[in-house]
Chains A and B, each alone.
Chain A
Amino acid sequence: MANPPSFYETPAPPGLKGIKAWLLTHDHKRLGLMYLWAILFWFVIALCVGFLLRIELATMGPTIMSARVYNSAFTLHGVIMIFLFIIPAIPAIFGNFFLPIQLGTDDVFFPRLNLLSWYLYMLGGMLAIVSLFSSGGFPDTGWTFYVPFSVGTKHNVPMTVFAAFILGMSSMLTGLNFITTVHRKRDPKMGWMQIPLFTWSLYATAWVQLLATPVISITLLLVIVERVFQVGLFDPAKGGDPILYQHLFWMYSHPAVYVMILPGMGVISEVIPTFSRKAIFGYKAIVVSSMGIAIAGSLVWAHHMYTSGMSDTAVFVFSLLTFLVAIPTAVKVFSWVSTLYKASIEMTPPLLLSLVFIYLFSVGGLTGLVLGAAGPDIHVHDTHFVVAHFHFTMFGGTGFAFFAALHYWWPKMFGILYNFRVAYIATTLTTVGFMFHYVPMFILGLQGMPRRYYDYLPQYAQGNMLAAVGGVLLFFGVMLMLANLMLSFRQRKTASANPWGGCTLEWTVPSPPPLHNFVTEPVIKDYPYDFSDVIAQIETEAKVEQGKPD
C-alpha cells in the first residue's frame, strides 16, 4: 500500500513554504518537533552547566570558577532544567505529538493557541538568555527566588522571574489545550476507560498545570512588584511575612513536581506493556492513581518548609499528608512490575531505560519518605541528601522517562530507527554514571554537607571526588545517547509503521504520520492494551519463517 505523503511534505495551513511552514504551522506534530529541538538545546546547555558545577566541587577550594559565578551557575542550572526542560519536556514534545493521535483525532482543540504556547516558550527562553548578559548578571538566588534575598540582591532577578512567568503561561495554555482536546476532540467511539495511559497522565498533568501555575504567576509578579515599589508584603520590617512567600511558592512548585513526573509515568505505562506483549496490570488503578497523585500532590506543599519557622502543627499535618502521595505512586510501581511478571519480554533500548526508571525512581521515592518525615528532615534539610533525592526522582525519574520516550517514539516521529547497540551502551554508561554521581551525595548529605555551598570541609573530599567521576561518566553517557539518535539521520534505517508491536493508535498510522494522522477511520479497541492482534501477527510471521523452504 502506498503511503500518503507524511506531515513533513504537507504544510498546515497549506501553501506555506520553507521556514514559514514551520514557524506559522498549526500542526501539532510540527509543533511537537519544534519543541523537541528547543528543549534539547536547553537540556544540553543546562547539562553542561551542571557538569561544570560538579567539576568545581571535585576538589576543595576554587577549582574552575569563582564563588560568585558558582552562585549564578547553580541558579542557571536549576532555572533552565526546571522551567525550560523538565516541566515542558514530555507534555510539550510527546504530548503535542501523540495526544491527538492516541485520541484518534487530527489535531488539538485550539491549534493556533498551541502555536502561541510555543512562541511564549521561546520568548521565555530568550528572556532567560538576555538576563544572563544584562546588568547585574544572572540571579544568584537559586531557582526558588526566596525572599528577602531575591528582593535585595543586585543581580537581575526581575527579568529572570519574568521569563519564568512567561514560561508558566506557556505551560498553562498547553494544559488548557490538552484538557479541552481530551473532552471535545476524542474519537466519539472512545470512552473514558479506553483512553491510553499516556494521554490519561497528560490529562491529570494538565489539570495541575492549569490550577497550580497561576499561583507561581502571582508569586513571581509579587517579587517584581516588591522590587519596583517596595510595598513590603514579604518584608518583616514593614509588617510582611517572608514565610508566606514560601507558602505561595510551594503551592505551585510542589504540584509542579507532579507536572514533571506524571507524564514520565505515562510514558513508562506505554513502554512496559508494549515490550511485555501483555495488557498492563491494573489499567484502572493506574488511571485513578494518576488523578490521585494530582489531587494529593496539591495538599502537601509545606513539607518543603519544615525548618523555615512554620508552626509545629503545620509541620505535623503536612508531614502526615505527605505520606499520602506514596500510596498512588506505589500503585503505579507495583502495576508496572506486575505487568512484567510472566510476560514475553522483548528487550529494546526504551524498555531498558524504563526498567532503569523504575529502579531509580523507587530509590528517589523512598528517600523522599526520609525527607517527608519531619524528624529526619530536620537533620538532612538543605544538605546534599536533598540534592540526591530530587535528582533521583527528577533525573532518574523524569529524565530517564524522557530518554525512554525519545527512544520509543523516535521511529514514529522521524520514520527511522537508531543503532540499538550504541543505545544500550549509552544507557548503561548513563546509569552507572548516575549511581556514582548521586549515591555519594546521599552519604555526603547524611554526613552534613550543605547544598549550594561553594566549598567544603576536608572530610567531604572523597565523596565529592567520587561524585565528580560519576558526573563525567553521566555526562558522556547522555552525550553518547543523544549523538546516537542524531546519527540515525545519516544512517536512515527506515522504520515500519509498527516497529515495536505497540497497540495504541499511534502505531496504526504510517511512520511518520500523514498530516491528518489517520488514513482510514481509527478502530477503537474495547481495551487499549489488547495485544491479541499483535501476538497473532507475530505468530503468523513466525510460521511463515518456519515454513520457508530450505
Chain B
Amino acid sequence: MKHQDDQTGIRIGMWLFLYTEIILFGGLFVLYAVYFHDYPKEFAEGGKELNRIIGSLNTCILLISSFTVAASITAIRQECKRLSLALLAISFGCGLLFLINKYFEWGHKFAHGIYPNAPELINGPPGRNIFFGLYYVITGLHGLHVIIGMTLLAISFVLIWQNSVTGQRYAFLENSGLYWHLVDLIWIFVFPLFYLVL
C-alpha cells in the first residue's frame, strides 16, 4: 500500500500534532487554574474590564468560520469546487475580522495603560497584573495560531484553485481544517475564562 493513499494514517499524524498543540496551551491553562485559585477576586474584576461585546462577537465569528471550513470540505468532496473556494474565502475573512477586532481590543487596553510591565499594572494589586499578563500571553499565542491557521487556509485555497486538492485528494484541506477547528476549540475555553469570570 502506497502511503500517499493512506488517508487514515495522514489523519492520525495530524491528530497527534493537534495533541501537542492542546498540551502546549494546556501549560498555560495550568497557570490560569492556579492563579485563578490564588486571586479569584482580582480575576473577576479584571474580567469585567474586558470588552464582553467584542469577545462575544469574536466567539461567533470563529464558530461561523469553523462551520464554513467544515462545509468547504463537504463541498470539495461533492466536487463543488467553486462553492468550496467561496466557503474557504469566508473562513479566511472571518479570521481576518477576528484579528482586526483583537487589534482594536488590545489597542484600547494599551491606550488605558494596560500592557505587560506597565506601571499601572505593576503598582496595582498583584492579581490584576497576573490576570492581564495571562490575558496577553494566552490571547497572543492564540492570535499567532489564528495567523498560522489563516496561512494554511490560504494555501488550501490556492491548492484547490490549481486542482491539486480535489474530491479524491483532500488531505491537505482536511488537515488545515482540523487545525482551524483547534484554534476555535482553544477560543471556546478562553472566552468564558477571561471575559465571563464572575
Q: Do chains A and B touch in the complex (CB under 8 A)?
A: yes
**A residues apposed to B, CB below 8 Å:** 109-110, 113, 172, 175-177, 179-180, 183-185, 210-215, 217-219, 221-222, 225, 229-233, 238-241, 244, 247-248, 251
Per-residue 0/1 for B112-153: is the Cβ within 8 Å of any A Cβ (1 yes, 0 no)? 000011000010011111100110110001000000000000
Question: Beyond A211-B23, A218-B28, is A239–B16 a contact (Cβ under 8 Å)?
Answer: no
- Taking CB as reference atom, which chain B residue is nearest A209? B20
B116–A231 touching, CB < 8 Å = yes
Q: Is the CB of A185 within 8 A of B39?
A: no
Separation in Å of the B7 CB from the closest CB of chain A?
Answer: 10
Residue of A nearest to B140 (CB): A225
Known: A218-B25, A233-B133. 8 other contacts (CB 8 A): A113-B13, A184-B12, A210-B20, A214-B23, A229-B136, A231-B116, A232-B129, A239-B128
Q: Which residues on B are within 8 Å of A, measured CB to CB?
A: 3, 6, 8-9, 12-13, 16-17, 19-28, 30-31, 34-35, 38-39, 116-117, 122, 125-130, 133-134, 136-137, 141
What residues of B have a CB within 8 angstroms of the CB of A184 in the complex? 3, 6, 8-9, 12
> Quick check: B19 and A109 within 8 Å, CB to CB?
no
Distance of A185 Cα from B8 Cα, bound (Å): 11
**Which chain A residues border B141 with CB–CB below 8 Å?**
221
**Chain B residues whose CB sits within 8 angstroms of the CB of A238 once the complex forms:** 122, 126, 129-130, 133
Instruction: Please tell me which one of the listed residues A215, A233, A241 contacts residue B26 in the complex, with CB atoms under 8 A apart.
Output: A215
A113 to B30, CA, bound (A): 30
A230 and B118 alpha carbons, distance in the complex (Å): 9
CB nearest neighbor in A for B22 = A214
| Given A180-B9, A211-B23, A225-B137: A239 touches B127 (CB 8 Å cut-off) | yes
A176-B13, A210-B19 are contacts. A241–B137 as well, Cβ < 8 Å? no
Could you name 12 residue pairs across A and B whose Cβ atoms are closer than 8 Å? A184-B3, A210-B20, A214-B23, A214-B26, A215-B27, A218-B28, A225-B137, A229-B117, A233-B137, A239-B128, A239-B129, A244-B31
Please name the 9 residue pairs, one residue from A and one from B, whose CB atoms are nearest each other, closest first. Answer: A239-B126, A184-B9, A218-B27, A214-B23, A231-B133, A214-B24, A229-B116, A230-B117, A239-B130
Tell me whether A231 and B127 are in contact (CB under 8 A).
no
A234's nearest neighbour on chain B, judged by CB, is: B31
With beta carbons under 8 angstroms apart, the residue of A172, A177, A212, A232 that contacts B130 is: A232
Kindly provide the distance from the CB of B174 to the nearest chain A CB, expressed in whole angstroms.
16
Q: Which listed residue, B12, B125, B128, B136, touches A231 by the CB 8 Å rule? A: B136
- Beta-carbon nearest neighbor of A222 in chain B: B137
Q: Quick one: given A109-B3, A241-B38, are A233 and B16 in contact (CB under 8 Å)?
A: no
Known contacts A233-B133, A248-B27; A176/B17 CB under 8 A: yes
A110–B16 alpha-carbon span in the complex (Å)? 13
Q: Report the Cα distance A515→B38, complex, angstroms.
A: 59
**SS class, residues of chain A in contact with chain B:** helix
Report the Cα distance A218→B128, complex, angstroms.
22
Q: A244, B34: Cβ atoms under 8 Å?
A: yes
Q: Which of B23, B24, B129, B136 has the most A CB atoms < 10 Å from its CB?
A: B23
| Contacting pair B133 A172 (CB below 8 A) | no
Known: A231-B136, A233-B31. A213 touches B20 (CB 8 A): yes
Bound-state CA distance A179–B35 (Å) is 35
- Give the contacting residue for B13; candidates A110, A219, A229, A247; CB below 8 A: A110
Which residues from A are CB-within-8-Å of B35?
239, 241
Residue from B116, B125, B134, B136 having most chain A Cβ neighbours under 10 A = B116
Which of B12, B20, B35 has the most chain A CB within a 10 Å cutoff? B20
CA of A214 to CA of B9, assembled, Å: 22
In contact, A240 and B130 (Cβ under 8 angstroms):
yes
What is the CB-to-nearest-CB distance from A222 to chain B, in angstroms, rounded to a whole number?
Answer: 7
Residues of B within 8 A of A232 (CB): 117, 122, 129-130, 133
Given contacts A219-B27, A238-B129, contact A231 B16 (CB under 8 A): no
Q: Is the CB of A172 within 8 A of B28?
A: no
**Cα(A180)–Cα(B3), bound, Å:** 11
Bound form: Cα–Cα A434–B19 in Å: 40
Chain A min CB distance to B168 (Å): 19
Are B116 and A214 within 8 A (Cβ)?
Answer: no
Residue in contact with B116 in the complex, picked from A218, A230, A244, CB distance below 8 Å:
A230
| A256–B13 CA distance with the chains assembled, in angstroms | 21
Contact A211 B8 (CB under 8 A): no
